[in-house]
Amino acid sequence: MTLMIRTRRYLLAASALGLLVAPLSLTVRRATPPQSAVVLQQPAGPAPVVAASAPVRAAPPAPVTQAGERSAYIVQAATVDAARSAVLRVGGLVTGELDIIHAVGAALDERELIALRDGPIPGLRVFEDTAVKASSVTGALPETYYPTEVAASDLHVGGVTGRGVTVAVLDSGLWSQHGPLQNAAYQTSNRVLAQYDVILAQQQPSAYKAPFLETYSSNIDDPFGHGTHVASIIASSGVATTGRFQGVSPGVNLVSVRVLDSTGTGSYFNVIRGIQWVVNQRARYGIRVINLSLGAPPHSPYWQDPLDQAVMAAWASGIVVVAAAGNMGPNPMTIGAPGNTPYIITVGAVTDNYLPLQAKQYQLSTFSSAGPTYEGFVKPDVLGMGGHIRAYAPNNGTLAQKFPQWVDTANNEFTMSGTSQAAAVVSGVVALMIQVNPLLTPDQVKCRLMSGAHPAVKADGSLAYTVFQQGAGLVNAHDAVYSNASGCANQGLNVALDVAGLKHFGGRANRDANGNYYIMSTDTASSASASGGLLGALGLGGLVPVIASIPLVGNLLVGIPLVGDGLLWGGDFASSTGYTWSNGYTWSNGYTWSNGYTWSNGYTWSNGYTWSNGDMSVDSSTDAGVPRQE
């Protein structure tokens, strides 16, 4: 009995204690957040609405902010501060800063991601953060260096790989073993969107169905090897032992158009037909860039040359055309067609002298063709790395069989020099620019590419090479991608009128009585004609003499060179090194040396001149048939 009474007293005491402790327990639970401090960063406005509409038993709506549901992203804006603020504003976590690309790393759930993309943040771009993870992976392939030498590798780390941009390579085809060209960086799907064999289509008209029925998915192969090499420079997603990509824009999509045969030669007809096919298919495959690593000597004014007309039409359609300058340097006036077309981006070559990443050892390649053009335009526009360029290529192609000493059989790679390779480097840079700014027009791309280039400068601050040799300088992917320059390319030109045959243009280059090339000064008060210079009575490179007096509509002063920028050139070549490829050089006259002026209607070329049938060849440097590596 006594035991029973004591038991009841203990139970009553325990119950009383439980009643006292329960409120304290509830208070502690309410004071403890169900998540980490991230919840405090969520917008306060929408939360009560969601909670009020939910049943009482579903009171904790915390799944919206579950940290485990967040994914990694790279958020880019006009500045790092703007990107950081945008992430924090929607309640996301900032995981780090990427100053080099004006971005931050971020952890976002689906709701935060939607809110971020819907926010009115100027220049906001969001990338899945797969690039950072993969770039730390060490591959087994050799380092190619040129993506780093043009400042593209740092962009890859930030997710700028050319993703979503399609480059059409008109060349000798694409090896059926696609290797590092099969898949883009961080993707598993086939990024070779189409292959079209112009030579096959000409030989066998029934080889392809009607365009709306044809998939263009059959392999066209590359019996020569040059086309695969060029495409690999642009797009290889192979990862080197350093963890860097081997290609300049490893995320691009590719379209391969075969216009050259197994010996690397072709005809104007096939190249033009290839350009025509690309223009017709540009919307279907999202083609934004054409790479033309080929050329032929010019035999008429650019506006009368069929190949130049075709590339002008492509440019007018919204496609950026990148072409090799040619390998007839270092002599002046050796730019080939279609590189002599004033509108497009024409590329000369730089070598690192087998001392990679040591910019003061870089040098203009001796084979790189120089301007000006016969119409007086400054070419090349820019330079790209073009000496001893390593890239994936077929081990059974004509080039590999003819020059086995340049073949890396273990990795199926070939080493080649030329403005072909330099043009491919620049095409890759252009793809990076378009990924970041998809609305850029071809003229805007050219302007920003030139404004971001680094010219070679001597210790005294003067140019080491003239604009006729280096144009605006060596391309820099980072500076081109983030350039805000405008109105600095193709000023005074009108491609629509040019294509229509209504108006044609000449440049500001001329040559004095001593054989020096210079840029004509301008005078707002008078107009002068260009007589006796480049465009007067010259019979160079197979061109027939033209009339002695060729007026240019525009206020140009013949015989009076533009002051500054070291523009007077006697045609000599400087073989020394030690120059600084400077991003701090200020052009004293802007880029006015690239402007165009309307030709007088009275100007005509000889009607009796018959030019060649337009045989084409690749623009890889050769010396008696052997690639000359620089």
DSSP string computed for 287-302: EEEEEE-EEB---S-G
Q: Is the torsion defined by CA of 104, 106, 111, 113 positive or negative?
A: positive
Instruction: Mark whether 229 is an active-site residue.
Output: no
What's the DSSP call for residue 40? G
Whole-angstrom distance, CA of residue 392 vs CA of residue 397: 12
DSSP annotation of 207 reads G
Give domain 66-129's CATH architecture.
2-Layer Sandwich (3.30)
Helix axes 306-316, 268-285, angle to 10 degrees: 10
Q: Which is more confident, 353 or 627?
A: 353
Question: Residues, the chain, total?
Answer: 630
Query: Which of the following is catalytic: 109, 171, 222, 308?
Result: 171
* pLDDT grade for 516, boundaries at 50, 70 and 90: confident
Q: Could you count the other beta carbons within 10 Å of the beta carbon of residue 314?
A: 26
- 91-142 tens-digit pLDDT: 999 977 665 556 777 888 888 888 888 877 877 888 765 432 211 233 568 9
Per-residue confidence (pLDDT) for residue 267, from 0 to 100? 86
pLDDT band at 630 (very low <50, low <70, confident <90, very high): confident
- What is the percent of the chain with per-residue pLDDT over 90, rounded to a whole number? 46
pLDDT digits (tens, 9 = 90+) for 392-413: 999 999 999 999 999 999 999 9
β-strands 382-385, 345-351 pairing: parallel
Q: At what angle do helices 226-235 and 419-436 cross, to 10 degrees?
A: 40
- The answer to whether the peptide bond before residue 372 is cis (omega within 30 degrees of 0) is yes
pLDDT (mean) for 455-463: 84
More confident residue, 261 or 618: 261
Per-residue pLDDT of 415-437, as tens digits, reads 999 999 999 999 999 999 999 99
Which of 269-273, 446-450, 464-468, 581-585 is predicted least confidently? Answer: 581-585
Domain boundaries, the chain: 66-129, 146-499+610-627
pLDDT value, residue 510: 83
Q: Residues near 381 by Cβ (< 8 Å), separated by ≥ 6?
A: 345, 346, 347, 446, 449, 450, 471, 472, 489, 594
Backbone torsions φ then ψ of 283, nearest 5 degrees:
-70, -35
Give the pLDDT confidence score for residue 180 in this predicted structure: 87
Local structure of residue 69 (DSSP, 8 states): G
Given the residues 267, 317, 417, 420, the one annotated as active site = 420
Q: Are strands 407-408 and 413-416 parallel, antiparallel or unpaired?
A: antiparallel
pLDDT higher at 534 or 596: 596
Q: How confident is the model at residue 604 (pLDDT cuts 50, 70, 90)?
A: very low
CATH number of 146-499+610-627: 3.40.50.200
572: confidence class by pLDDT, cuts 50, 70, 90: low
Query: Which of 264, 281, 261, 292 lies closest to 208, judged by CA?
Result: 281
Beta strands in 455-540, from DSSP E residues, in sequence order: 456-457, 505-506, 509-511, 517-522, 529-531
- Cα distance between residue 18 and residue 11, in whole Å: 10
User: Shortest CA distance to 382 belongs to which of 334, 409, 349, 338?
Assistant: 349
299 is catalytic: no
Q: Which of 467, 507, 481 is nearest to 590 (CA)?
A: 467
Provide the terminal-to-terminal Cα distance of the chain, rounded to the nearest Å.
109
| Pair 347, 427: CB distance under 8 Å | no
pLDDT digits (tens, 9 = 90+) for 301-343: 899 888 998 999 999 999 999 999 999 988 899 999 999 999 9
Whether 171 is a known active-site residue: answer yes
The share of the chain scoring above pLDDT 70, in percent, equals 69
Q: Which residue has the higher pLDDT, 25 or 338?
A: 338
Q: Which of 226, 229, 478, 504 is catalytic?
A: 226
